[in-house]
Structure 1
Amino acid sequence: MPAFQSKTFRRAATESSSLSERIGALYRARLARHPFILFGLPFITVIVAGSFALTPAAALRYERYDRKVKQLSQEEAFDLGLKGPDGEAGIKRNPRRRIVGDEKEEYYRLMAKDLDQWEQKRVERFKGEPDGRL
């Protein structure tokens, strides 16, 4: 008889080894042979499914924010100067629109500036605020 048996060791199924332990052991044994199918594919699936699940939630968030921003009463609009007392639109301004006129005009205006001759100026600080000087 040889010194060691040729049979592999397997724990006897006792009451202490529950179903979840047996499934976990089986999963770990198979994971070594098929890592992408048992780990990579479920991981990628969760990421893609999460992206699809969170898209409506993000859209809902921005829609709620837009609704909250758009709701102005007549008095608030008048106070902000958006509508005149007769209900007509007052000052029309778009803070996001900085370029006045044609984009090419603005480009050439910026290109004409002399960038070699400039002077650095410090921003004025409030009283008591440290200015960063040593």
Structure 2
Amino acid sequence: MPTFTSKKYLPASAANTVGSRYRSGLSRHPFLLFGLPFIGTILAGSFFLTPATALRYENHDRKVKRVTQEEAMGLGKDRRRVDLNEEYYRLSMKDTDNWEQKRVKRLKGEHDGVL
């Protein structure tokens, strides 16, 4: 019985196609024909998507209005301005030596914490 050769049978028309040449070259140079184009595609996509992402965040920033600290606290223009040093001295002038602890009245059915 004759032995079979290790070569695969390819018809003459299939040997000249781009796909068959790519497949045969892929087994010899896998990184050059598969890895390098893959990494290149990932890097190119990153550079092309960066402006689109920046545009998205710029549009979001236009919608969100920056609020000052006074507006966030709900202070109007007719309210007095708060100065931390002034508040400190105003509170320190109060008589803090003679104070009495008072219990807050609890709601009905709420545990008051008294044993």
The TM-score normalised by the length of structure 1 is 0.43
Q: Which has the larger radius of gyration?
A: 2
The TM-score normalised by the length of structure 2 is 0.49
* Higher RCO (C-alpha 8 Å, min separation 6): 2
